[in-house]
Chains A and B, each alone.
Chain A
Amino acid sequence: MTIREYGLYVVIALVTILVGTVASNLLSIGGITPDLLLLVVVALALDKGQLAGVVFGFGAGLMFDVFSTDVLGSNALVKMLAGYIAGFFWREGATIGESIGSLRYVTVTLLCALVHNAVYYLLYTRPADIPFVEFYLKNGIAAALYTTALALLPFFYASRRRDEAY
């Protein structure tokens, strides 16, 4: 992965964070918001591999921590973890269109979102008297499903582009 490609992904991450922050209230359904940045991290890990996914996930998560006023390092950890998990499903030689335009992208997003939210909420509820299991079942799974539903948009777009190319 070249520096230029990293730069491009950093810009995409920055735009995603800004859109996610500004539009979070619009996207919110019953207090549940999708994780747009996770979609980018998973896409990059599937496209460029595990190492790129891990490094990018950490960097993007750290940026998100600064913008969202969250505890510094918390999103860096879980986004890095998501990139790490998604990296196991990387296929060498596959193009970005093939990676995102297959159902693998949607399935991996769901898996990563479930693990990502589980770890995040575990860290989140630990210092408070909030029951983790109940909290995760209500918020974590719903947010993971919402994020996965949004993953269908790039999936449909990429698969359509791929079909047109054939």
Chain B
Amino acid sequence: MQRVVEWLYRYREHVVAALLAVIALSLMSYGNVTQLGGFRALVIGGLGMLQEAFAWIPNPVALQKENRVLRQINMELLQETMVLRRAGIENERLRRMLDLRQHSKLPLLAASVVGKTVFRTRQFITLDRGSRDGIRVGMNVVTDAGLVGTIIGTSSHYSAVQTLFNRDVRVSARLLSTRDEGIIAWDGFEYLLLHNIPKTHRVTVGDTVVTSSLSTRYVSDIPIGIVRSVANDPSSMFYRIVVEPAVEFWRLEEVFVILQSPPLEQIELERSLQQYIERRIGGK
């Protein structure tokens, strides 16, 4: 016994390291930090206040990039204005002719981005609105261009948003023209990937990808992006579809929170079903 203790003491650095590694791996298998509840709200509130206080300090590299893009967008907008004027008149006429109902308006809450946090390519943004304004975890965040992400935490005055550029994000999506359903995930770099579209289906470059009505976490028909390329992977029965995000995440300043909580009952039911299936598979 004494020899064991002596051995442990002699190699204490390695023993402690191994022990802490086991604890760390156990914590990782335990789950997400969002389970820390009230403490999480405290962290979001504190960080939100700090980020708002320092929001005036510009990032020169980002500003330079922003100016270049804004000039380009300005030129494009000038051209588009003329086209849109004509299209608007035509649209109004067609609506009247078809007697289309106006789309039901979603309850939107405008919010300013007071902080952007980048942790080794994981992007979060902090909004200046919180639970006091009716924001709840799971609500969708959008801009006029499309989907930004979802609320992952709130304090009374601030809320944190997980953007689409995150390994953990999966969005049920569909191609607007063909209605084919797939799953959107981050490609690890600057684009998104649309998975699970079989090669037997037709996919066109330039087609719009929107959130699916099958999703319980996302409001349907929010633009996600445009199909940038379609590759034929010989080792797979599905296409490799690269999607360019509709939203320019590094340029976000104002967003809208859709004040509509996800259907918790449906999510809970589906989760229970999944757990049941996993238990059954595990039992066999």
Contact = CB atoms under 8 A, between A and B. Distances in A.
Interface stretch (B114-122, B214-222, B257-265): B114-122
Contact of A33 (B32, B120, B162): B120
A130 B187 contact: yes
A11 interface: no
Interface string B140-180: 00000000000011000000101000011000000000000
A8 interface: no
B33 interface: yes
B89 interface: no
A84 interface: yes
Given A33-B120, A54-B20, A72 B31 contact: yes
A39 B36 CA distance: 27
Contacts of B33: 65-66, 69-72
B13 A87 contact: yes
B23 interface: yes
Interface stretch (B49-57, B91-99, B205-213): B49-57
Contact of A70 (B20, B119, B193): B119
Interface string A13-45: 000001001111110111111010000000000
A contact patch SS: helix
B25 A73 contact: yes
Given A125-B167, A128-B185, A80 B24 contact: yes
Contacts of A22: 47, 50-51, 54, 115
A157 to B, nearest CB: 23
12 contacts: A21-B51, A25-B62, A31-B118, A50-B13, A61-B24, A68-B119, A71-B28, A72-B27, A72-B32, A73-B25, A124-B120, A128-B188
Given A50-B13, A54-B17, A73 B117 contact: no
B16 A51 contact: yes
A139 to B, nearest CB: 5
Interface of B: 12-13, 16-17, 20-21, 23-28, 30-34, 36, 39-40, 43, 47, 50-51, 54, 57, 59, 61-62, 115-124, 152-153, 160, 162, 167-168, 185-189, 193, 195, 250
Contacts of B195: 129
Given A22-B47, A58-B20, A72-B28, 13 more contacts: A21-B47, A23-B54, A31-B250, A62-B27, A66-B36, A66-B39, A67-B43, A70-B33, A73-B26, A76-B20, A80-B24, A121-B120, A129-B195
Contacts of B13: 49-51, 54, 84, 87
A68 B166 CA distance: 13
B188 A54 contact: no
A49 B21 CA distance: 18
A129 B193 CA distance: 9
A88 to B, nearest CB: 9
